[in-house]
Amino acid sequence: MSHPPTISSAANTPTALLLIDIQVGLNTSNGYFGSERSTPSFENNVQSLLSAARQYNDKPSTTLPITIIHVFHKSVNADSPLFPHSSDHPGGIDFQPCAQPVESSEYETVFSKSTNSAFINTPLETHLRSKAIGQLILAGIASDHCVSTSTRAAADLAVVERRNIFIVSDATAAFNKGGFDAETVHRVSLASLDKEFANVVSTNEVLTGLALAN
């Protein structure tokens, strides 16, 4: 009987943490994307992943740092909260406090995109290949849009083996739509990816697998 894919220690496998569209404009207060959002623990879990990765990278004993990549959406739609310099949604394009990049860090990179896929018209694929990434951890917003599209692209481009692509279920979120509540949209979206394009895991599984848990 085959065993399900597991996350390897960051000390043994080149690892990338890809954070997608964790931006101020992607919230429910403006009502643009939905009236409710899934995953109440989303912000805390994103912060836990980032903090643990940074602490690991900062250890003097670390010889194989985690590659941290922040991707943000720069909309071409003037009505979108993610449109640069939007007068209706000031600061909507900015990163949320839980996912602020450390620009001075040599281990963190920021890319912008204007499509659903983080791989279209960005250096992301080249960046991952240049680091010889062996496992890819994805988190962000929204589960059914840019996270899903980017996950499928990562699998189809074979930037890493499909068995080594992991989506963090409780550090990913979706909005309600089409008469379906946000949690249903979130869970169905992840279920459509699990075991086909990636493996759905929890924050604790990531921290434990990467050997980052305190």
Q: Are 33 and 143 in contact (CB under 8 A)?
A: no
Q: Are 116 and 48 in contact (CB under 8 A)?
A: no
Contacts of 105 (CB under 8 A, 6+ apart): 54, 57, 68
Cα 109 to chain centroid distance, Å, stands at 13
Contacts of 85 (CB under 8 A, 6+ apart): none
| Helix or strand holding residue 128 (H, E) | helix 124-130
Q: What is the pLDDT along the chain (214 residues), one digit of tens a residue?
A: 345 678 999 999 999 999 999 999 998 877 889 999 999 999 999 999 999 999 999 999 999 999 999 999 999 998 899 999 888 888 899 999 999 999 889 999 999 999 999 999 999 999 999 999 999 999 999 999 999 999 999 999 999 999 999 999 999 999 999 999 999 999 999 999 999 999 999 999 999 999 986 5
Q: Is the pTM here over 0.85, yes or no? A: yes
CATH superfamily of 15-209: Isochorismatase-like (3.40.50.850)
Instruction: Indicate the domain borders of the chain.
Output: 15-209
